[in-house]
Every structure is written in structure tokens, then in C-alpha cells.
A and B are shown apart, each in its own frame.
Chain A
Amino acid sequence: MSQLYEGMFLLDNDVVRAGWNAAKHHVTDLVTKHGGKVVSARRWSERKLAYPVRGRRRGTFLLMYYELPRTGIPPFVRDLDLSESLLRYLLLRCEALPEGEAALAAQESAADYSAPVPPSDEAGIYAVVQNGIVEAPSDRAIEPEIIPELEGAGVHSSPAGRD
């Protein structure tokens, strides 16, 4: 008897840079290897992590819904533990596939889909504020401000709040 599960997998960006489809299939193949069936799998997000995991400051999240028999769970978890391209994973039992999930996964499986290349580990700023998460865009470059009166002396000051 198969049960529907939700899995969130944090993938190493070095593996994702080599090819998103290969990184995704690395996880989905483990499900099929243990007698399961992938219902939907998609790139959930690429973001700055709240704390470094195995020295990585950014990571790509794969959200997958899959069916797996109960006997397939322990070997599946063992394979996940042994996988070096996975930084973290979270497996939850799920009653039904959430609305809109199938459509989002179908967008990714389209022939013309290409996943964006993850930025370097230093890009972006992680900050939790009172009313939500604020993450600076990855292309935001912080230029040093030049004080006019000191310009001749070549003195630069860091932008406000970035000391």
C-alpha cells in the first residue's frame, strides 16, 4: 500500500550548476529505485540559507510529491543520508496533492524550460524582519560612496548600515 509523501530537498549549488535536470533526477531516481512513483517534482526556490550548511551559504530547494510503499522508506532514507549532493531533506506524510502543484511541476517539465544558474555563495543578504523575509536581489551590487570633500584624498566610506 503506497502513501503520498512530500519531500523537500536542499541541493548543493555546485551540483545544480552542473545541470538542474541531473540534480533533480538524482533524487527522483532514488524514489523509483525503491518502488515508488514521482507525482510531481519542481524547483521550489534558490535562496540564501539562514545559516551555513556544510560550508554552503546558498542552496537550491527541490519540492517533490511522491508515492512510496512503507517498506521502501528505510532504504530510501539511507540512500538520502549517503548522498553527497544533498545538504538537508525533510520528508512528511501528505494527504493529497496541493492545488496548483501539478500545474507548476508541468511548467518545469516543458521542453523550453531552463533553470536559472545559481549565483555565487556570497550573493544576496539574508535578513528576517518583523513582517516577513527580506532578501536582497542577487544582482544588487553595493558600491562604496565617495565623499566629495575627501574625493581628492581617495577616502571611501561604506554605505549606511553596512559597516
Chain B
Amino acid sequence: MTEQPVTAEVAAAESSAAPKLEKYPDHLDYKDLETLARFMNSQGNIQGRKRTNFNTQRQKALKLAIKRARHMALLPFVG
């Protein structure tokens, strides 16, 4: 079985995703509000994976951290 050639779109997507993943620590802490607020829009929603460029594990960690911060009234649920 021959290996599939890497298309230009896939290569571009990988190169754009890689630096963003490396920019943030593996463990997203609920106390690091400045980092978490970057991944929320102006209405307080958590940004999707298309926008954050995070993999599954990192996106789940982000969701958990933001929900913990919301519970402690550190971040808003809306607005």
C-alpha cells in the first residue's frame, strides 16, 4: 500500500496549527484567567476547535478549566 501524498491544504493547516499548540502549556489551569479568556468570545462562549486549533485532549482540558473558573465566579457564563 502506497502512502497518500500530503496535499497543500493539509500541509498549510498543519503548519498553522503547530505553533498555536506549542504556545500554551499542556495543563490549562482554571486560575490562569488571562489565558482562558483568550479562548472565549465577547459573549462568554467557549471557542470551537476550528478556531482554537486544539486537539481533542487540549480542547477538553480547556472546556474543563473554563467551567471550573465559571463555577468559582471567575469567568462569566454569558456576556
- Measured between C-beta atoms, what is the minimum distance from B37 to chain A in Å? 5
The tally of CB-CB contacts under 8 A between chains A and B is 49
Which residues of chain B come closer than 8 Å to A8, judged between CB atoms? 31, 72
**CB atoms of A44 and B31 under 8 A apart:** yes
**CB atoms of A59 and B33 under 8 A apart:** no
Asked if A113 is at the interface (CB within 8 A of a chain B CB), the reply is no
| Cα(A131)–Cα(B33), bound, Å | 10
- Measured between C-beta atoms, what is the minimum distance from A87 to chain B in Å? 8
| Cα(A63)–Cα(B72), bound, Å | 12
| Cα(A37)–Cα(B56), bound, Å | 37
**CB atoms of A128 and B76 under 8 A apart:** yes
Which residues of chain B come closer than 8 Å to A63, judged between CB atoms? 31
**CB atoms of A131 and B38 under 8 A apart:** yes
Contact of A88 among B31, B37, B71 (CB under 8 A): B71
- Closest residue of chain B to A53 (Cβ to Cβ) is B73
- Measured between C-beta atoms, what is the minimum distance from B41 to chain A in Å? 8
- Closest residue of chain A to B41 (Cβ to Cβ) is A130
Contact of A129 among B30, B31, B37 (CB under 8 A): B37
| Cα(A44)–Cα(B74), bound, Å | 12
List which A24-73 residues lie within 8 A (CB) of chain B.
44, 47, 49-51, 53, 59, 61, 63
Known: A44-B31, A128-B44, A130-B42. A59 touches B37 (CB 8 A): no
Asked if A132 is at the interface (CB within 8 A of a chain B CB), the reply is yes
List which B11-41 residues lie within 8 A (CB) of chain A.
30-31, 33-34, 37-38, 40
Asked if A110 is at the interface (CB within 8 A of a chain B CB), the reply is no
| Cα(A88)–Cα(B75), bound, Å | 14
**CB atoms of B31 and A49 under 8 A apart:** no
Given A8-B31, A47-B74, A128-B37, 13 more contacts at CB 8 Å?
Answer: A50-B74, A50-B76, A51-B76, A53-B73, A88-B73, A90-B68, A90-B72, A128-B76, A129-B37, A130-B42, A131-B34, A132-B33, A133-B37
B: residues with CB less than 8 A from A are 30-31, 33-34, 37-38, 40, 42, 44, 68, 70-77
